[in-house]
Copies of this chain bind each other. A is one copy, B any other.
């Protein structure tokens, strides 16, 4: 039985994240979407909000669960018994950063494998930052995020 971890900040999740999660769920027996509680950069949504938004987006997938974590990603992977960390690759700038993180993770926990999926073409231009910027300017979010995330963004920026 293979357990895979899909870690991220997900502030908030967008269709690119959801695409990676759905595809990873077909490759592994169990997938844990792991929401990083305390990222270095300031976040728009709290860890609880980010977790709830993702949970609602994958509630139709029986082998996926969504959790929060703190500390080293590889320590959390070990604690779960995960053999793979899943990451999406969107572009070359992703690649270099991901390579650095993957090598550090292997230095820290050689038995946890990093596995990459390439972002689907239709979502290659999506990032949480650009979604937040578009939302802050009041532009429509169709095709970028699920409806419940669009509503959550609208609520944040109306305040």
Contacts and interface: CB of A to CB of B under 8 A. Distances in A.
Nearest to A116: B116
A121 B118 contact: no
A23 interface: yes
A117 B93 CA distance: 17
Interface in A52-103: 71-72, 75, 83-84, 89, 91-93, 95-96, 98-103
A27 B115 contact: yes
A35 B87 CA distance: 27
Which of A26, A72, A96, A100 has the largest count of B CB atoms less than 10 A from its CB?
A100
A117 B116 contact: yes
Given A27-B113, A83-B26, A115-B116, A134 B95 contact: no
A137 B72 contact: yes
B40 A133 contact: yes
Contact of A100 (B108, B114, B125, B137): B125
Contact of A95 (B2, B75, B95, B108): B95
Interface centre among A23, A139, A143 (most CB of B within 10 A): A139
Given A27-B113, A72-B137, A108-B134, 12 more contacts: A2-B27, A71-B137, A72-B134, A72-B139, A99-B125, A101-B130, A103-B118, A103-B121, A106-B121, A107-B144, A116-B118, A121-B124
